[in-house]
Amino acid sequence: MICLSSTAGSPDGALRQLRRDAAHLDLFELRADFFAELQSEGSNQHRGEAGDGEVGADLAGAVNWGRRLSELAAEARSDWRALRPEAAALGIILTIRRAADGGRYQGDEGFRLLVLEEALRSGGFDYLDLEEDLLGSDAERSVVAAASSAGATIIRSYHAPDGISAELPHRAARAATRENEIPKLAVHADGSAAFLRIIEAGEALQSVRRIVIAMGPYGVAGRILAPRLGSFLTYCSSDDGRQAAPGHLTPEVLAGMYRYHELTERTAVFAVIGDPVLHSRSPEFHNPVFRSQKLDAVYLPLQLDDLSALPALADRLGLQGVSITIPHKSGVRRLLSNAEPAVEAIAACNTAIRGPEDAWYGYNTDLHGFLAPLAEFFGGAEGAQHAPAAQETRGPDLTGVRCTVIGAGGAARAVVYGLLLYGADVLILNRTVARAEALAAELGEQLETVPPRCAALEPAADALVREYRDLLVQTTSIGMEPEVEADPLPFYEFCGSEVAYDIVYTPPETTWLRRARRAGCRVIGGNAMFEGQARAQSALFLTRINELHQHGAGQ
């Protein structure tokens, strides 16, 4: 179930958030700790007690807030009915999260508990979020009694916003002490190993209903796959700039992009792994393909700082295939059982697919993506766009084509390899010439061909570029956002007959590419390569999904 945590500073704002996202929700968590008035009243109570001892104000203020929250719950329910008459009843959770647990409430604890008790007595709540450290205390007894008479279920929460501590197993076990409560773990994951430990701590709870959340970017995949990890809900925040907790997605993204309500144990899961990875455009490419082909499959971002956590995470999340991005393209090769030849030649793998007996097979579709758009200009690549893997690609005919490659980094490896593979004569220009020379020597030897020429990326190279200008390929990060005005080849004047190819895709047309187009050149932007590699990846994913269907195994 998708639960929206309100983050508005006022009751009206919270209702507005519910109304805006109602279409995608099953549950609504009223996060009253975000209410500015409640925060200040709680803090004033605190000062009153410590200072002049006006304890009487506690009760009246708390009763007042309890009633307001109950009225708010009733209003939320009636809005919901009007907006979604066909839907099941909206479940409402009441929460006043303490600052120490990652919330906003810093006021008096007695006042907080009184507000919760009064709200429950006044009615309207299905669940109450109550902390594990209060278990069995005098302070919580009347709150628990009020929840019980109101028929509200207690979510017994353990929060660790600073990450895993030695206390985790003990605190998790305590949260699961009472059978009629729902234990909840919300622990910050400072890396992939921590994400895995949080999943394991959740599994150890063994409660039929539980909530397990790894907060922060390393746990986002777990929020999307919450049911698979045994969590009966996933929390999210409205798209208005405030997150209730780090790593929250919006309801629209969860329900739309990731089809949260359709995910089951049998859904084939794919992911892009990298660090960072949440900015990746790949989910926007692959999920619509799955949706349009009515496939029970999802593609999500899995932020990964440590490759050694990947096998266990792949098993827990049910991964069937992954896209691999910076910084794991090289390191991931040690986890593969087999790979197409280009993976070793380029020393980079950007796609891995699970096969029989859980063996993983590696591919490099960047190579395919780079080559695919060249077919239009240099012919010979019929069918290349749909080739399932780079090794089956029939490439463009580059025999005798003279090319300059700007840059000698990771992406240039695939570019130079592809150009040499299909017969081009290559010049590499790089700021660090030694890096270009090493690349040239290595690929020349591997392909048993004449190694590319190399030169420094500076004005003295102008004459050389004129010799190698049938195709110019720009592979450095120069001109990429945010430094969009930068030009990697400012000393070179285009003559207009060149094909200019910039693999940078943010912005879609770089300053350098615009200059080439205006000079009359035919141009290729980085999106063409990105989409080419994604199409080849998609073909590999679809093959894997077909295999799963044929074996009828799901996962």
Residues with a known catalytic role: 329
Question: Shortest Cβ distance from residue 482 to ligand NAP (Å)?
Answer: 12
Residue 535: closest CA among 370, 353, 301: 370
Closest contact distance (angstroms) between CB of 540 and ligand NAP is 16
Stretch that binds ligand NAP, among 42-50, 122-130, 420-428, 524-532 (CB under 6 A): 524-532
Put residue 416 in one of left, alpha, beta given phi > 0 → left and psi -120 to 50 → alpha: alpha
* 435 sits near ligand NAP (criterion: CB under 6 A): yes
Q: How far is the CB of 406 from ligand NAP (least distance, A)?
A: 8
CB of 210 to ligand NAP, least distance (A): 40
**Segment near ligand NAP (CB under 6 A), from 1-9, 56-64, 116-124, 500-508?**
500-508
434/495 with CB nearer ligand NAP: 434
Is 369 a binder of ligand NAP (CB under 6 A)? yes
Per residue in 198-208, is it b (16+ CB within 10 Å) or e — as a string? bbebbeebebe
CB of 502 to ligand NAP, least distance (A): 9
Query: Among 17, 231, 287, 533, which residue sits at the site for ligand NAP (rule: CB under 6 A)?
Result: 533
Least Å from the CB of residue 237 to ligand NAP: 29
Q: Are 263 and 299 in contact (CB under 8 A)?
A: no
Positions in 437-496 near ligand NAP (CB under 6 A): 457, 475-478, 480
For ligand NAP, the closer CB: 115 or 503? 503
d(CA 523, CA 497): 10
Using CB under 6 A, pick the residue from 96, 268, 411, 428 that binds ligand NAP: 411
SS3 state at 186 = strand
Looking at beta carbons only, is 178 or 281 nearer to ligand NAP? Answer: 281
- Using the minimum distance from each CB to ligand NAP, give the nearer residue, 176 or 528: 528
The length of the chain in residues reads 555
Q: How far is the CB of 489 from ligand NAP (least distance, A)?
A: 10
Does residue number 61 form part of the binding site for ligand NAP (CB under 6 A)?
Answer: no
Q: How far apart are CA 205 and CA 132, in angstroms?
A: 14
Local structure of residue 493 (DSSP, 8 states): P
504 near ligand NAP, rule: CB under 6 A:
yes
- Mark the segment that binds ligand NAP (CB under 6 A) among 13-21, 73-81, 338-346, 404-412: 404-412
Q: Of 533, 529, 522, which is closest to residue 508 (Cα–Cα)?
A: 529
Q: What is the DSSP string of 55-103?
A: THHHHHHHHHHHHHHHHHHHHHHHHHHHH-TTSPPPEEEEE--BGGGTS
503 binds ligand NAP (CB under 6 A): yes
- DSSP character string of 15-64: HHHHHHHGGG-SEEEEEGGG-HHHHHHHHHHHHHHHTT--THHHHHHHHH
For residues 143 and 412, which CB has a smaller minimum distance to ligand NAP in the complex? 412
Q: Is 409 in the site for ligand NAP (CB under 6 A)?
A: yes
Is the previous residue joined to 482 through a cis bond, with omega within 30 degrees of 0?
A: yes
Report the residue number, 409 or 423, with the smaller CB distance to ligand NAP. 409
Nearest C-alpha neighbor of 5 from the set 251, 255, 235, 260: 235
- Near ligand NAP by CB under 6 A, which window of 112-120, 335-343, 428-436, 508-516? 428-436
Residue facing ligand NAP at closest CB distance: 409
Q: In this structure, are residues 11 and 35 in contact, taking their beta carbons and an 8 Å threshold?
A: yes
Nearer to ligand NAP, 443 or 529 (CB): 529
Q: Which residue has the tokens 């909530």?
A: 211
Q: Which of 186, 215, 222, 217 is nearest to 317 (CA)?
A: 222
Q: Which is nearer to ligand NAP, 225 or 478 (CB)?
A: 478
CA nearest to 269, candidates 224, 236, 306: 224
Q: Which residues, numbered 205-234, are part of the site for ligand NAP (CB under 6 A)?
A: none
What span, in angstroms and rounded, lies between the C-alpha atoms of 513 and 524? 8
Residue 197 has φ and ψ, to the nearest 5°, of -65, -35
321 binds ligand NAP (CB under 6 A): no
Site string for ligand NAP, 347-366 (x = CB under 6 A): -------------------x
Nearer of residues 17 and 475 to ligand NAP, judged by Cβ: 475
Rounded to an integer, what distance in angstroms lies between the CA atom of residue 259 and that of residue 501? 36
Site size toward ligand NAP, by CB under 6 A: 25
Contact in structure between 473 and 415 (CB atoms under 8 Å)? yes
Considering the complex, what minimum distance in angstroms separates the CB of residue 535 from ligand NAP?
11
The Cα 139–Cα 117 span in angstroms is 11
Residues near ligand NAP (CB under 6 A)? 366, 369, 407-412, 430-432, 435, 457, 475-478, 480, 503-505, 526, 529-530, 533
